[in-house]
């Protein structure tokens, strides 16, 4: 199976998206709500490409466009560029101080938007946090309301009681909104009113693992990890064990 992307013939595999293929051959397409580890969402509209669809040229989100044999894709036509520019302006007008949004704007050569300010928050509603939380199986947060009132919150805008403390949301947020901190044996994520008990290390006493996360890992059957030792103590333990084993082995050699 093959597609033509920007005039280039590229062999492709079933199940790939046009964005996958673009990355493969080194063509840059701006993305905001895309993440390798998560299902495509197609909400930010930055990754649009021009594609022939039943005789008509349309714009489609490359992150969610499955490849089809003979597909012809263009990622940098005037139509695509005009769309990208206006979409970028819409992002700039509706988010404040999001590092990723500003970075993308710079890359696209857009200084400012010519629109009205709509929104005093950093959240781009990209949905990465929601999708990550769903993927790890916590579903502690979600989209609420709709249209201009759409927000990501924990239920009832109260404490996210299903939070595992895994911090996947903080990891994927392109705007740096979600910040976790530790205090007094608890992991706090004020953005979701998250408040989760930490387990402390049986070796050194340091708090190192959120308890609900430990519970979830056990549920998933991951018995490999000693959930009572922090990573340093675990390493030390392992090192001691190795040393003991090696010593015993040497001992044997020495004896024989």
Partner 1 sequence: MDEAEVQDLVARHQEQNGRVTAILEELQQRCRYLPEQALRLVAGELGLPLAQLYGVATFYATFSLEPKGEHLISVCHGTACHIKGARRLTERLERELQIKPGHTTHDGQYTLQSVHCLGCCSLAPVVSVDSHAYGRLKPEAIPEVLTTVQGGEGQ
Partner 2 sequence: MSVTDTLLESLRRQGMLTLYPDRVKIAVGRATCGLAAGSDRVYRYLKEESSRRKLDVLVASTGCLGWCQQETLVTVQVPGQPRLVYSRADEALAGQILDGVSEGVLPEVRLLGRIYADENLLSGQRIFLTGEPESDPVLDKVPFYAPQLKIVTRNCGYIDPGSIAEYVARGGYLALWKALQMQPSGIIDDITSSGLRGRGGGGYPTGRKWQLTRQQPADIKYIICNADEGDPGAYMDRSVLEGDPHTVLEGMIIGGYAVGAPSGIIYVRSEYPLAVAQLQEAIRQANEVGILGKNIFGSGFSFQLEVVKGQGAFVCGEETALIAAIEGKTGEPRPRPPYPSEVGLWGKPTCINNVETWANVPPIIMRGSAWFAGIGTESSKGTKVFSLVGDVRNNGLVEMPMGATLRQIVAGAGGGAGRFALKAVQTGGPSGGCIPANLMDLPVDYESLAGAGSIMGSGGMVAMDERTCMVDVARFFISFTQEESCGKCTACREGTWQMLHIINRIVEGKAVMEELEVLEKLALVVKDTSLCGLGQSAPTPVLSTLRYFRDEYGSHIRDRFCPAGVCKGLFRLVIDQDTCTGCGRCVEACPAEAVRTSRSEADQGLTTKYLIDQERCIQCRSCRDVCAYRAIRVVPREVAADADRH
Residues in contact with partner 2 by CB under 8 A are 40, 42-45, 48, 59-61, 64-66, 79, 82-83, 86-87, 90-91, 93-94, 114-116, 118, 124-125, 127, 143, 145-150
- Give the CA distances from residue 138 to residues 63, 210, 213, 235, in Å, rounded to whole numbers and listed in that order: 25, 13, 9, 29
Among 52, 162, 195, 228, binds partner 1 (CB under 8 A): 162
Among 10, 12, 22, 154, binds partner 1 (CB under 8 A): 154
148 interacts with, out of partner 1, partner 2, none, CB within 5 to 8 A per kind: partner 2
Is 5 in a helix, a strand, or coil? strand
139 interacts with, out of partner 2, partner 1, none, CB within 5 to 8 A per kind: partner 1
Comparing CB distances to partner 1, the nearer of 28 and 143 is: 143
86 interacts with, out of partner 1, partner 2, none, CB within 5 to 8 A per kind: partner 2
Comparing CB distances to partner 2, the nearer of 71 and 169 is: 71
Asked if 188 and 180 count as a contact pair (C-beta separation under 8 A), the reply is: yes
- Tokens at 24, concatenated: 């493969």
- Tokens at 193, concatenated: 């009113």
Is 4 in a helix, a strand, or coil? strand
| Least separation in angstroms between CB 192 and partner 1 | 10
222 interacts with, out of partner 2, partner 1, none, CB within 5 to 8 A per kind: none
154 interacts with, out of partner 2, partner 1, none, CB within 5 to 8 A per kind: partner 1
In this structure, what is the dihedral angle of CA atoms 230, 234, 236, 238, given to the nearest 10 degrees? 180
- In the chain, % helix, strand, coil (3-state, to 5) comes to 35, 20, 45
Comparing CB distances to partner 1, the nearer of 48 and 154 is: 154
If one asks whether residue 139 binds partner 1 (CB under 8 A), the answer comes out as yes
64 interacts with, out of partner 2, partner 1, none, CB within 5 to 8 A per kind: partner 2
Query: What CA–CA distance (Å, rounded) separates 25 from 8?
Result: 9
If one asks whether residue 219 binds partner 1 (CB under 8 A), the answer comes out as no
If one asks whether residue 226 binds partner 1 (CB under 8 A), the answer comes out as no
Cβ count near 191 (within 10 Å): 20
| Least separation in angstroms between CB 40 and partner 2 | 8
Is 25 in a helix, a strand, or coil? coil
DSSP 201: P
Query: What CA–CA distance (Å, rounded) separates 234 from 90?
Result: 49
Sites of contact with partner 1 (CB under 8 A): 133, 139-146, 154-156, 160-162
């Amino acid at each position: 199976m093959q597609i033509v992307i920007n005039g280039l013939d590229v062999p492709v595999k079933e199940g790939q998206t046009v964005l996958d293929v673009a990355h493969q051959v080194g063509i840059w397409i701006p993305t905001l709500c895309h993440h390798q580890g998560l299902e495509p969402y197609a909400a930010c509209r930055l990754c649009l490409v021009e594609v022939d669809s039943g005789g008509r040229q349309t714009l489609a989100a490359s992150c969610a466009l499955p490849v089809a044999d003979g597909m012809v894709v263009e990622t940098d036509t005037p139509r695509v560029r005009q769309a990208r520019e206006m979409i970028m302006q819409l992002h700039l007008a509706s988010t404040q101080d999001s590092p990723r949004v500003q970075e993308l704007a710079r890359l696209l050569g857009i200084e400012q938007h010519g629109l009205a300010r709509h929104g005093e928050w950093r959240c781009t509603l990209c949905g990465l946090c929601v999708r990550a939380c769903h993927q790890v199986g916590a579903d502690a947060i979600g989209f609420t309301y709709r249209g201009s009132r759409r927000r990501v919150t924990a239920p009832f805008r109260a404490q996210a009681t299903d939070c595992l403390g895994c911090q996947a949301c903080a990891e994927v947020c392109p705007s740096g909104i979600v910040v976790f901190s530790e205090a007094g044996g608890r992991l706090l994520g004020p953005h979701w009113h998250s408040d989760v008990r930490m387990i402390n290390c049986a070796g050194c006493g340091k708090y190192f693992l959120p308890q609900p996360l430990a519970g979830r890992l056990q549920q998933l059957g991951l018995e490999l990890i000693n959930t009572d030792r922090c990573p340093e103590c675990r390493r030390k333990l392992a090192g001691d064990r190795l040393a003991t084993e090696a010593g015993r082995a040497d001992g044997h050699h020495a004896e024989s």
